[in-house]
Chain A
Amino acid sequence: MKKVILLLLLAGSLTTPAVAQHSFSIQYALGFGGTINNYITSTSVRGATFEYKIYPQPNIAIGIDAGWNHFYERRAYDTYTQGTRSLTGVQYRYANAVPIFATFDYYIQPGNKINPFVGLGIGTIYLDRYVDMGIFRVSDDEWHFGLKPEAGVLVSLNPEMDFILSLRFNNAFATQDSDQQNFMTFNIGFVWK
């Protein structure tokens, strides 16, 4: 997967004029919703996204982004029954999602103070999930093929920095051993150009 991302970046850079602008962004990512709610209903308040983009044209950007969201939920003392077996205790559920995408973004009003955009990311999402009950742990981790549609807006603060707000849908497709998983993130951060 790393090779694919590097090749995409390289291909992007080869078609980029030498004077193409580039940017770096750090965002806080609030994770919520999606099928991951079947496993953990709580919102992920621990998350971040890092992006690097190259602009071959003012209204187009290609780049790479990597993020992390940590989900956690404490399920109250309860009984879980399967067939003739019943298990009672407090459950602690954890999930870490690490999306890594090659991205393509289209900007609707480049140069304006408010610049909406839509984008698509293609890459991978690493999902690491585990359940603690008593002193025992059940865990599984998986690399999924991932897609990430995104819509947001850039607000220009000064010629070198933008404020960014966006909504992302991170979709991790099913693998042989794991069902499809997805979740959304509300991203807020800064872009340095």
Chain B
Amino acid sequence: MRNKLFAFLLLVSQMVLWGCYLEGPEYTEELDLVYTNYHDQFDFQSRGTYAMPDSVVKITGEIGAPEYLNFVYGAAITQAIAANMTALGWQRVHKDASPDVQLLPAAWSTTTLVGGYWGGYYCWWYPYYCGGGWYYPYYPVTSYTTGTLVMTMVDANSLATDSSKTVVWTGAINGLLGYSYDIDRITNAINQSFNQSPYLKTN
């Protein structure tokens, strides 16, 4: 019997030890994503000028006057985009100077609440059904906030019937917002979005 118990405990302890190693992301930046897509019929090489606002529009979902990201973030974003565009051979011009393309950065954040529960679903709503006496239901709630920046490049000379412009390139970055180093992460992600878009290079 002692042998059986020893063997069983040995196996269980092995499995528990193997189960102790970590899985999944350990750092916030490991959740950063960079997505790009482009119009494969658009000839980027024959274009060379672009216009871009100095501020980044903040998407709030509300109708009214546009809001902008605070200056620290907005300036860092537009500077990073401009540096990458310059490196690819583009020249920034005023929007009224007949640019070949327009680059429009916009950003938004989303906060998601995650509610746990203790004691089962009914304990949330009918605490008196849970047994063990009446008590207030306890459910810890955590939240996470993600930020998204979308850079949309449109053909400034396209003429769509619905007055919209043809989108020729999209770069989107998404990540979990933290309390520090977000500007560095955003800048790195912007650089990556251009690095993975070598077709943007112009003559």
Q: Is the CB of A89 within 8 A of B3?
A: no
- Chain A residues lying within 8 Å of B24, measured Cβ to Cβ, are 92, 132
| Known contacts A72-B23, A92-B24, A134-B175; is-contact A161 B36 (Cβ 8 Å) | no
Q: Is the CB of B36 within 8 A of A86?
A: yes
**Shortest beta-carbon distance, A22 to chain B, in Å?**
15
- Chain B residues lying within 8 Å of A48, measured Cβ to Cβ, are 15
Q: Is the CB of A88 within 8 A of B33?
A: yes
Q: Is the CB of B35 within 8 A of A26?
A: no
B residues apposed to A, CB below 8 Å: 3-4, 7-8, 11, 14-15, 18-19, 21, 23-25, 30-40, 144, 146, 174-176, 192, 196-197
Selected A-B contacts with CB under 8 Å, 9 pairs: A77-B30, A81-B196, A85-B35, A86-B36, A87-B35, A88-B35, A134-B33, A157-B3, A158-B3
A residues apposed to B, CB below 8 Å: 26-28, 45-46, 48, 72, 74, 77, 79, 81, 84-90, 92, 94, 132-136, 157-158, 160-161, 189-190, 192
Instruction: Using CB atoms, name the residue of chain A closest to B23.
Output: A72
Q: Is the CB of B175 within 8 A of A190?
A: no
Question: A157 vs B24: C-alpha distance in the bound complex, in angstroms?
Answer: 41
- Chain B residues lying within 8 Å of A192, measured Cβ to Cβ, are 4
Q: Is the CB of B3 within 8 A of A86?
A: no
- Chain A residues lying within 8 Å of B38, measured Cβ to Cβ, are 84
- Chain A residues lying within 8 Å of B7, measured Cβ to Cβ, are 161, 190
Instruction: Using CB atoms, name the residue of chain A closest to B18.
Output: A45
- Chain B residues lying within 8 Å of A92, measured Cβ to Cβ, are 23-25
| Known contacts A135-B146, A135-B174; is-contact A89 B34 (Cβ 8 Å) | yes
Q: Is the CB of A88 within 8 A of B11?
A: no
DSSP majority for the A interface?
Answer: strand
Instruction: Using CB atoms, name the residue of chain B closest to A132.
Output: B24
DSSP majority for the B interface?
Answer: mixed
Question: A133 vs B176: C-alpha distance in the bound complex, in angstroms?
Answer: 12
| Known contacts A46-B18, A92-B25, A134-B175; is-contact A87 B34 (Cβ 8 Å) | yes
- Chain A residues lying within 8 Å of B31, measured Cβ to Cβ, are 89-90, 134-135
Partner of B11, one of A86, A89, A189: A189
| Known contacts A158-B3, A190-B11, A192-B4; is-contact A87 B33 (Cβ 8 Å) | yes
Question: A190 vs B3: C-alpha distance in the bound complex, in angstroms?
Answer: 11
Q: Is the CB of B23 within 8 A of A86?
A: no
- Chain A residues lying within 8 Å of B144, measured Cβ to Cβ, are 135
Instruction: Using CB atoms, name the residue of chain A closest to B172.
Output: A87
**Shortest beta-carbon distance, B178 to chain A, in Å?**
13
Question: A60 vs B21: C-alpha distance in the bound complex, in angstroms?
Answer: 40
Please give 6 more A-B residue pairs, beta carbons under 8 A apart, in addition to A84-B40, A92-B24.
A74-B23, A79-B196, A86-B196, A94-B23, A134-B175, A161-B4
**Shortest beta-carbon distance, B150 to chain A, in Å?**
14
- Chain B residues lying within 8 Å of A134, measured Cβ to Cβ, are 31-33, 174-175
- Chain A residues lying within 8 Å of B8, measured Cβ to Cβ, are 26, 190
